[in-house]
Chains A and B, each alone.
Chain A
Amino acid sequence: MATRMKWAPGPAAWTDDLSPIAASDWNADRAAHLLAHAGFGGTPDEIERLADAGLERAVRSLVHYESIPNPKMVPFVESGLWDPGLDGFPESRPEATNRAEKTGVSMGIDVKPGGRRPIQPVSDRFFYWLRATLLETRRVGYWWANRMLQTTHPVEQKMALLWHGHFATHENKVRDYRKMLQQIDLFEREATGNLRDLAIQVAQNPAMLYFLDAQYNVKGAPNENFAREVMELFTMGVGNYSEKDVRECARAFTGWYFDNLTFKIDPEKHDNGEKTFLGRTGNFDGVDVIKIIFEQPVTAEYLASKVYRFLVRDDQSPEMRKKLGAALRDSKFEIKPLLTLLFSSKDFYSPATYGGHIKSPVEHLIAMMKHLGAEAIPGVPDFNQSTIAMGQHLLNPPSVAGWAGGRSWITPNLLIARGNIARDVLLPDMTGFRDWNAGNANDTVMRRLRDGYDVGAATAVSDPSTMSMFDRVALERDEKFNTRVSSTLGWERAARKLIPTPRQAAQIDLSRLVLDSGSKTTADAVDHLLGRLLRVPAAKPMRDQLVTFLTGELGTDNIEQAKTYMEDALRMTVHLMMSTPEYQIV
């Protein structure tokens, strides 16, 4: 049985002090605090192990995780939706069908030599891939969430999540789950490596190259999209460079492109001229300009404070920003020394940091599973739908600026959604659940086609069963393709190949957790569960009300007496706990 911990923030004087706490200041509560911020929270066992290790070893094991076995990390199993004909996928449906009209083939699909709607297979193909990559990306998100839950390297996953929101690309535009997967792999591999190397690798990453229009950035006609974001959002922040720097930076990146999943440079399209960038002059290429960007003092400050905001707390003083920047610069952009500094610091365990971080929806859901003792993310409710409802769609951040984070995670409806999702996890509606990967239940086109209507009637706005045969025939026009049919068939064909997501509820046994904790009374049970779940203690009256609630539901305050039937009542109790303001923060 895990011993109940005392809420133990350090003294106020620790705030903004980056010097390490003493070994004697280490305890179980601080271990729990560290796991909640550096990772996704801990089970009582994980906390106990970290507490027993002592501060230095605890921090080292979290930051230098490479040698720790991580047996549950399995590669993503692809559904096999992609084939080489999809390489160079057109940016729009008109581009896809125009290509077919001009060349007789598009995306590896031939135009029909005769018959009706000769370009229909091409149009279908376009929609097939739109749906296929969307559906597979949902699976990637779900797979990644399981990694976050099951890893023995929580810092690695937490930092990968940070970089995903920082170097933000979204599948909506990239339209290739393989590139998204490749990028997540990069973020995981380099999660705590060298930040300058990471920035260079991101600049050469196919998802990013596509996302920021690198293919349009060529000698003589530079596209500034990537150059601007590299400085504005990825490294320096707005106001630290001129428009001329943006143009010169874009010239340095000209000729960078990708071939399928491989980064390439086209020397013909690269501008070999002299560039003047941030006060330096030379025949720079993309790597050179990133190196110059990392020589700017503001870059280290910008990036270090981003790490701090993500792992420690929202607010920071200008002095803190400078100190953090200096630390990152001193380590030559190695991330591990910065993490070690933060995780050992008095500031990290100060009252300002305790309860100072609002969990993102993804952090929230992973922590929820840990607290409940679940070993896998459930299939019901759907992982992606749950986090979307709470305001975060993995692999689809809202813009290149990523998620705003902090307070923006909490609005009245998002807060209500958090409580409702907790209920769906604890007491799922298996009867009412419908798999959204199966498509839109209200799609009438497929139903009409299967009921024997022509394409024209099947895609009509009004109900063809109420039309005369004459009207129905009149709808069947001479057209080269029909995109509304493609939209439906595309989903259908992708869904036929898609590996289904297991729709199992969360496997949790709260009765077992409570019995194993040695709880004798409903008060013991509530205290044990609160201790598991909350980093910020619940107020006494709330705790007492929860005890009254559980006792009322069980008809006794005796756990032994109620042990054969207490599961759902415990789950409701935990639903209430997870709906508290305190559960949203760590």
Chain B
Amino acid sequence: MSTKHPLRASGVSRRDLIRIGAGGLGFGLFGGIGPVPYVLGQASRASAASTTGRILVVFEWFGGNDGLNTVVPYGDPMYYKHRPTIGIKEQDLMKIDAQYGWHKSMQGVKRLYDEGKVAIVQGVGYDQPSFSHFTSASFWHTGAPNSGNEYGWVGRTAKELDPTGARGNLIVNISDSQTLAVRAEKHVPLVFIDPTRFQRSVFSQEKVLLEALASQQSPVGDAHRYVLEVTRSAAQASEVVRAAWAKYKGKDNRDLRLLDLDKVAALIEADFPTRLYYVPLRNSLFDTHVNQAAPHERQLEYCADAISGFFREMERMGRADDVVMYVYSEFGRRVPENTSLGTDHGTAQANFVIGNAVKGGFYGKAPSLSNLVLMDNLEATTDFRQVYATLVEEWLGVDNQKVLGQKYKTLGMFKGAPQPTTA
């Protein structure tokens, strides 16, 4: 696709354009601070102890993934008692050990696991769980179960990474509407789903004027200054995102099926200053109430292939050491199968943390399949905020109490990270 690049003709390279835009002149939201140059290439080459170039990608599997049919406890006879029909047979699994095996569609994640790059956290959930998709998702997004918060945990992490909010595009949310998880006090998340449509709808004759909307105006106050800056950065963000997308080769590779992770890869390749990417899977195909075998198999395969392909792209770009992905659902599913060969909304599930920096293996305690709680459900053995705490503290170097309101014990999941912290 050939998008117009007004600056390229003037001899400014795309990377320069994005750096200038992203770090300084254009994207420097929040006045008073002035341009903040940000050279990510430098940061990523900084010493290993530094956390400044590290990126977290959250991949939300909305709908409620059936964790038991993803990492299958085939060694426990209770599993087959609860799931006489939809339980996955031992011979169909890719075995991890004498107890667990991967669903065969998880080939892509298994590859990374075999390379020691996948942490499987078992039994992740919270007390007094909600069985409503939206309510439970809002608990995970805010990190405040049976409560709420105006801001999301990713948004609060941004504030700790950059307390003044001086840096633009710290958070990118690949979504058609802003996910609660990224709502931030100081930062303006860059939210888009289709780079080619991330722009104003205009009639042709309006174009010139719409592009000039925020020019030549001096602010009357703080709110005005803020809106002016977002107006300018919106125009530039849409331009730069479309430019990054146009340049990204991965999108034309038919073997790469990255779901919405392709947009993340494109921005990382374009050296965006983003540290926090949030990618909710928009369909709810994980909500497998009926005849779940075929759709779950397909959905897992799409997702696992996307994750695998994404990390191959990171390798190609030389950024694999800088990126960690976190995968979760708002809940798992009921342990016993239902009469429609599916499963209903449940509680705890396995989460995955993936990346070169991760110490692969199992974390947390496996919930019992014999002592079920709350109408045939798994007991949550690891509070999801412990996983958040691990990500923000061990990977991003932020005190987890500042993000989560209280200190959580981290899981010791990262290479070179301190041993698990105590609460």
A residues engaging B (CB < 8 A)?
91-94, 168, 170, 172-173, 213, 223-225, 228-229, 232-233, 238, 313-315, 351-352, 354-358, 388-389, 391, 398-404, 407-408, 410-416, 419-420, 423, 427, 459-462, 477, 479-484, 536, 538-539, 541-542, 545-546, 549, 552-553, 572, 575-576, 579-582, 584-585
A residues less than 8 Å from B344 (CB atoms): 92-94
Q: How far is B184's CA from A131's CA once the two chains are assembled, in angstroms?
A: 32
- Residues of B with C-beta under 8 A to A232: 147
Of all chain A residues, the one with the shortest Cβ separation from B376 is A94
Q: Is A416 a contact partner of B200 (Cβ separation < 8 A)?
A: yes
Which residues of A have CB within 8 Å of B217? 538-539, 542, 581-582
Whether A579 lies near B224 (C-beta < 8 A) is no
Min Cβ gap B406→A in Å is: 11
**A398 to B150 Cα, complex, angstroms:** 9
User: Which of A356, A414, A483 is B289 in contact with, Cβ under 8 Å?
Assistant: A483
Q: Which 9 A-B pairs have the closest CB atoms?
A: A399-B148, A412-B234, A401-B148, A400-B148, A404-B150, A581-B227, A172-B134, A539-B217, A413-B191
- Interface locus among B205-213, B249-257, B316-324: B205-213
| A351 engages B221 (CB within 8 Å) | yes
Q: Are A542 and B212 in contact (CB under 8 A)?
A: yes
Give the distance to chain A from B246, nearest Cβ to Cβ, in Å: 18
Q: Which residues of B contact A584 (CB under 8 A)?
A: 227
Interface SS of chain B: helix, strand, loop or mixed? Answer: loop
Determine whether B110 belongs to the interface, using a CB cutoff of 8 Å to chain A: no
B227 and A400 within 8 A (CB): no
Chain A residues positioned under 8 Å from B199 (CB to CB): 416
Is there contact, CB below 8 Å, between B132 and A388? no
Given the complex, which residues of B lie within 8 Å of A313, measured CB to CB? 223
Nearest chain B residue, comparing its CB with the CB of A485: B290
Of residues A91, A399, A484, A582, which shows the largest number of chain B Cβ atoms within 10 Å of its Cβ?
A399
Question: How many Å lie between the Cα of A481 and that of B290 in the bound state?
Answer: 10
Q: Evaluate contact between A411 and B290: CB separation under 8 angstroms.
A: no
Q: Chain B residues with Cβ under 8 A from A223's Cβ?
A: 128
Q: Which residues of B contact A (CB under 8 A)?
A: 128, 130-132, 134-135, 138, 141-142, 144, 146-151, 177-178, 180, 183-185, 188-192, 198-203, 205-206, 209-210, 212-218, 220-224, 226-228, 230-231, 233-234, 237-238, 289-291, 294-295, 298, 334, 338-342, 344-345, 375, 405
Shortest C-beta distance, B105 to chain A (Å), equals 14
Name A355's contact: one of B224, B294, B295, B405 (CB within 8 Å).
B224
C-alpha gap A223/B130 in the complex (Å):
14
Closest to B298 in A: A461
The contact of A388 among B177, B189, B192, by CB within 8 Å, is: B177
Q: What are 14 of the A-B contact pairs (CB < 8 Å)? A: A173-B130, A223-B128, A398-B180, A399-B141, A411-B189, A411-B190, A412-B188, A412-B233, A413-B191, A416-B200, A423-B202, A483-B290, A542-B216, A572-B206
A401-B230 in contact (CB<8A): no
From A233, which residue of chain B is reached at the shortest CB distance?
Answer: B148
Q: What A residues does B289 contact at CB under 8 A?
A: 93, 483-484
Give the complex CA separation of A351 and B298 in angstroms. Answer: 59
Asked if residues A415 and B234 are in contact (CB atoms below 8 Å), the reply is yes
Give chain A nearest CB distance to B244 CB in angstroms: 15
Q: How far is the CA of A420 from the CA of B189 in the complex (A)?
A: 19
Q: Given the complex, which residues of A lie within 8 Å of B294, measured CB to CB? A: 461-462
CB neighbours of B237 from chain A (8 A): 412
Q: Smallest Cβ distance from B235 to chain A, in angstroms?
A: 8
Q: Which residues of B contact A408 (CB under 8 A)?
A: 150, 183-185
Contacts of B213 in A (CB 8 A): 542, 576, 579-581
Q: Could you tell me if B223 and A483 are in contact, using CB atoms closer than 8 angstroms?
A: no
A438 to B52, CA, bound (A): 49
Taking a contact as CB atoms closer than 8 A, the residue among B131, B215, B220, B290 that contacts A92 in the complex is: B131
User: Which one, B178, B191, B340, contacts A483 given CB within 8 A?
Assistant: B340
Query: Please, which residue of chain B has its CB at the minimum distance from the CB of A460?
Result: B291
CA A483 – CA B177 in complex, angstroms?
A: 28
Answer whether A413 and B198 are a contact pair too, CB < 8 Å, given A173-B135, A407-B226, A581-B217. Answer: yes
Q: Hey, which chain B residues are within 8 Å of A483, CB to CB?
A: 289-290, 340, 342
Given contacts A354-B221, A481-B339, contact A94 B231 (CB under 8 A): no
Q: Is the pair B210, A481 in contact by a Cβ cutoff of 8 Å? A: no
Please determine whether B149 and A354 come into contact, CB atoms closer than 8 angstroms.
Answer: no
Q: Which of B180, B200, B216, B231 contacts A539 (CB 8 A)?
A: B216
Report whether A172 and B132 are in contact in the complex, using a CB–CB cutoff of 8 Å. yes
> Judging by beta carbons under 8 Å apart, are B226 and A410 in contact?
yes
**Across-interface contacts of A415 in B (CB, < 8 A):** 227, 230-231, 234
Q: List chain A residues, Cβ under 8 A from B222.
A: 314-315, 356
Cα distance A480–B289 in the bound complex, in angstroms: 13
Expressed in whole angstroms, the Cα–Cα distance for A498 and B363 within the complex equals 50
Which residues from chain A contact B218 at a C-beta distance below 8 Å? 539
* B144 surroundings in chain A (CB, below 8 A): 399
Q: Across the interface, do A411 and B201 meet the contact criterion of CB distance under 8 Å?
A: no
**By the criterion CB–CB under 8 Å, are B227 and A479 in contact?**
no
A188 CA to B405 CA in the complex, in Å?
35
